[in-house]
Amino acid sequence: MEALPGVKTHRPMPTGNAGISPAALAEARAYAAGNRSTAYMVWHKGKVADAWYGPGVTAETPLVSKSLSKPLTAIAVGRAIALGKIKSLDQPLEEIITELKGKPKGRILVRHLLDMRSGMLDQGFSTDPDHPLNRCYLSTDHGACIINDYPMVAEPGKRYAYANAPSDMIALVIERATGQRYGEFLSREVLKPLGAQGGEIWVGSKGGLAHAGCCKYLPAETWLRFAVLLLDDGMWNGKRLLPKGYVAQMRKGTPQNPNFGLGIWIGEPYRQRRGFGAPGAPGPQVLHSEPYLDPDMFLFDGNNNQTVHISPRNRLIVLRMGPNPPASPEWDNAKLPNLLIRGLLAVKESLEIASKQVGILPHREVAELRVFDQFDRGVGEPLY
């Protein structure tokens, strides 16, 4: 592990509840706490409405991310494009990693590494220590192994195959394109501009290539800031960090997998059980007991059911980190966001009913209802 510095002076995100019912917040927190979570956060309309941490964990504790790191590869690429270091998502790798010129991997586009259509071998398991699945992940020079030895099984852009190798290759793309080590680039161009806390990054060897697709240790609030950046189309405090429209590209699925964009998962089309592999492929399936109440929902989704759900329609983000939930009852990926959206709808409905009765309410209660109605629509601030 190597240091991944954030800002020297961290200012926590503001707190406050802008219209989620206390009952919904309590139920959602109980669901997270009852499923072996280490961190749970709810952000709504600019403020952290709720935050809970498991035993021994605080707001400053770096937590292992697993594949929550994959959306960060897309943020890194977007930042490099904004800086003019990468031409576009459609730049072929042979223009960046020059030893790939004229080779099949040289035809891979940058976007193919992010949307898992690189043509490289699917993630899998082998008991053979010398198998590329093992060597090209655990080697002290895993980047060279991915370039030289990791198998191509399809033409780039033609087949969806979720794997760690294409995500890890992003670290090499960033390093060649920017002249900075991957962790240095993330620190300078992503973490610090977001005012985020840092942590640690996994590298193949001291001074070696980072693993881009897995296992950074960062506090929960840092992942929340990444989500807010995407919710706001790559803007942060009035500064554009990602190209205009880049997040819309991240949120587009492909014909090979409509539920996966550039490092992120997409809620529609609805699938009750959705795996990480290609649609219909064998492997673990994540339960979604019902469609998301926001059809525009997108999310970070990593191993152990670590999720960051982002609801554009409600300006709502809910994060859950931690080890695997208990096997029974089965974890439901739709539970937390839908609970909180229903809590928002319940508050709005109560306001509408009370507004119709405004003529019979005391003057102070009328004023309070108007204040909260304005705040819920984002046009005012509570007076108390």
Question: In the chain, what are the domain boundaries?
Answer: 2-7+63-299
Instruction: Judge contact between 78 and 246, C-beta under 8 A.
Output: yes
Among 4-13, 107-116, 341-350, the minimum mean pLDDT is found in: 341-350
Instruction: Output the pLDDT for position 359.
Output: 54
Q: Which residue type, as a one-letter code, is found at position 184?
A: E
**Mean pLDDT, residues 364-371 taken together:** 44
Cα-Cα-Cα-Cα dihedral of 290, 291, 294, 296, to 10°?
150
**Mean pLDDT, residues 25-53 taken together:** 97
Q: How far apart are CA 115 and CA 144, in angstroms?
A: 22
**Mean pLDDT, residues 298-302 taken together:** 96
CATH topology of domain 2-7+63-299: Beta-lactamase (3.40.710)
Instruction: Output the pLDDT for position 4.
Output: 98
**Mean pLDDT, residues 120-124 taken together:** 94
Tokens, residue 317 = 């983000």
Q: How far apart are CA 273 and CA 289, in angstroms?
A: 8
Per the rule left: phi > 0, alpha: psi between -120 and 50, beta: everything else, 195 is left
Q: How far apart are CA 317 and CA 298, in angstroms?
A: 10
Instruction: Output the pLDDT for position 367.
Output: 44
Distance set, CA 133 to CA 39, 205, 341 (Å): 31, 18, 40
Q: Distance from first CA to last CA of the chain, Å, rounded? A: 46
**Mean pLDDT, residues 348-375 taken together:** 57
In tens, the pLDDT along 230-246 reads 999 999 999 999 999 99
Q: How many CB atoms lie within 10 A of CB 14?
A: 9
Compute the half-sphere exposure of residue 360: CA atoms within 13 Å on the CB side of its CA. 4
Residue listed under structure tokens 């300006």: 315
Q: How far apart are CA 343 and CA 49, in angstroms?
A: 12
Tokens, residue 73 = 């590869």
Instruction: Judge contact between 36 and 133, C-beta under 8 A.
Output: no
Instruction: Judge contact between 68 and 302, C-beta under 8 A.
Output: yes
Q: Has residue 353 got a pLDDT over 70?
A: yes
**Mean pLDDT, residues 350-375 taken together:** 55
Cis peptide before 14 (omega within 30 of 0): no
In the beta sheet, which residues pair with residue 344? none
48 CB-near residues (< 8 Å, 6+ apart): 12, 13, 14, 15, 16, 41, 42, 221, 224
Higher pLDDT, 240 or 361: 240
In the beta sheet, which residues pair with residue 63? 218
Higher pLDDT, 363 or 146: 146
Percent of the chain past pLDDT 90, that is, above it, reads 87
Tokens, residue 34 = 């009852």
Q: Has residue 369 got a pLDDT over 70?
A: no
Q: How many CB atoms lie within 10 A of CB 176?
A: 16
Mean of the per-residue pLDDT values of the chain:
92
287 CB-near residues (< 8 Å, 6+ apart): 272, 273, 330, 331, 332, 333, 334
**Mean pLDDT, residues 320-335 taken together:** 96
Tokens, residue 55 = 């035993």
Residue listed under structure tokens 């673990």: 284
**Mean pLDDT, residues 173-198 taken together:** 98
In tens, the pLDDT along 244-268 reads 999 999 999 999 999 999 999 999 9
Distance set, CA 283 to CA 278, 286, 305 (Å): 10, 10, 15
**Mean pLDDT, residues 205-234 taken together:** 97
Instruction: Output the pLDDT for position 356.
Output: 74
Higher pLDDT, 77 or 376: 77
Instruction: Output the pLDDT for position 371.
Output: 40
Q: How many CB atoms lie within 10 A of CB 278?
A: 17
Considering only CA atoms, which of 271, 214, 199 is closest in space to residue 71?
A: 214
